[in-house]
Amino acid sequence: MSLPVRLKDVVDELDAPLRGWQAFVHRTTGQVVGFSEEDEGVAEWDAADVPAWQVEVLEMIRAVHASDDYVRLPDREAFDEYGVMEAFCYQQEGPGVQAELLDAIRGCGAFSRFKDLIRVRGLDQEWYAHRDEALREWVADFLGEEGIPFVDE
């Protein structure tokens, strides 16, 4: 892959639902790679001790750590999903929907209450489109700040 990097590739890598997932983009090639903290621990092993199926991952991790050309992407937890959720609530105009959604996101258990309510209200597809767009904008801002060209296909 060569620059510019596809925004979708970066978003997909960051949207991995795994804890401890690290993602990187190569400044020159635009290659997007990701691996877990567990995989990173394997990179410290002697290559002879690594199972054959993990050799490629081991080589990729070592390449990432050996080069300043790889830029670590922000941790997914840095994305303000609560703020995006709140903005979505304020966009709703149906009778009582906005107030009901805002009430659902207050306090402990906000995310699960919100997801249950949008499902009941039939807003789940609209929510996920809103969230995905916010995530794409967040990633685009990061890439722009890093001077990494991208395309939004």
pLDDT tens readout for residues 17-62: 677 788 999 988 888 998 888 777 776 766 667 677 777 778 888 8
pLDDT band at 115 (very low <50, low <70, confident <90, very high): very high
- Do 21 and 69 belong together in one domain? yes
114 domain residue, yes or no: yes
Residue 2's pLDDT is what?
A: 59
Given 55, 76, 97, the domain boundary residue is 76
Residue 139's pLDDT is what?
A: 94
- Do 85 and 131 belong together in one domain? yes
What three-state secondary structure class fits 30?
coil
Cα dihedral 59/64/70/71 (nearest 10): 130
Residue 61's pLDDT is what?
A: 87
Domain that holds residue 120: 80-138
DSSP lists the bridge partners of residue 71 as: 25
pTM of the model: 0.81
- Do 21 and 37 belong together in one domain? yes
Tell me the CA distances in angstroms from 68 to 24, 27, 40, 102, 116, one per residue in order: 11, 9, 17, 44, 44
- Do 70 and 92 belong together in one domain? no
Strands (E), the chain: 5-6, 21-26, 32-36, 70-72, 150-151
pLDDT tens readout for residues 58-98: 888 888 989 999 999 998 888 999 999 999 999 998 778 99
For residue 145, pLDDT over 90 is answered with yes
For residue 108, pLDDT over 60 is answered with yes
Residue of 120 and 49 predicted with greater confidence: 120
